[in-house]
Amino acid sequence: MQPTLYKAESGSGLALEAIDRAALVSLKQGHVTFEQEVTQLFVTWRDPIYRYLLEVFGHPAVAEEITQEAFLRLYRSLKSGRAVKNPRAWLFRVAHNLALDQQKSDKRVRLLDAESWAELCESQPDRRPSPEQSALEQERFARLRVALQRLSTQERQCLYLRAEGFRYREVGEILGISQWTVIEYLRRAIRKLMAKTL
């Protein structure tokens, strides 16, 4: 028997964000294995979760380890038969909590060091058509980096999760705060960023 990946509430449409409808139909018909579906979730959400952890919590090796642990926990949870209604939100919440646990054990908050920031910048697609535009873009990134470092931890977390496409309510659930607190943190963050980067 295959584990239930999603559970629909009565009267509501089945919202599939991580796996498209065709893949779910294939799973239900037995054409795709459970492991293939979990692999698809990994392929879809590994990079966004890794980038979030790297941006908010720091060190690349730790971000990679926590990302893998989050997917391992998803696999175990689904294999045991638990339903996960929104895998994307579930994965981000688990990764966030694992990072907080790691952070508590480190007893300090780590921002990106220069090497990690350079690695992140290099991982971005190169859309620069000229050297002049490249220099302008690097200057803009440097101003943004400084502005992001001046944000509080909560403001950065809300901003990064919102940038990943989570709704205010989902960001609140992931961080364990109210939707209105998320809105206030985002308002402050955007105001600070606009003041420092314009």
Question: What domains, with CATH codes, occur in the chain?
Answer: 1-110 (1.10.1740.10), 125-198 (1.10.10.10)
Q: Residue 115 in contact with residue 33, Cβ under 8 Å?
A: no
Say which amino acid occupies 170: E
Q: Residue 58 in contact with residue 111, Cβ under 8 Å?
A: yes
pLDDT of residue 13: 32
pLDDT of residue 174: 92
What number of other Cβ atoms are within 10 A of residue 197's Cβ?
13
Output Rg (C-alpha) for the chain, integer angstroms: 19
For residues 157 and 168, give the distance between their C-alpha atoms in angstroms, rounded to a whole number: 12
pLDDT of residue 198: 66
What number of other Cβ atoms are within 10 A of residue 78's Cβ?
21
Cα dist. 132→118, 138, 144, 157, 194 in Å?
Answer: 19, 10, 18, 32, 23
pLDDT of residue 106: 64
- Closest among 7, 13, 165, 175 to 86, alpha carbons compared: 7
| 119 Cβ contact list (under 8 Å, min separation 6) | 60
pLDDT of residue 32: 63
pLDDT of residue 3: 42
Taking the chain (198 residues) in runs of 10, the rounded mean pLDDT of each run is 39 36 52 76 90 84 91 88 86 90 67 74 67 80 85 91 92 93 94 81
User: Model-level pTM greater than 0.75?
Assistant: no
For residues 167 and 99, give the distance between their C-alpha atoms in angstroms, rounded to a whole number: 21
| Residue 117 CA from chain centroid, whole number | 17
pLDDT of residue 134: 77
Q: Which residues of 20-48 are buried (b: 16+ CB within 10 A; e: fewer)?
A: eeebbebbeeeebeeeebbebbbebbbeb
pLDDT of residue 8: 32
Q: Which residues of 123-138 are buried (b: 16+ CB within 10 A; e: fewer)?
A: eeeeeeeeeeeeeeee
- Please state the three-class secondary structure of 23-38 as a single string: HHHHHHCCCCCHHHHH
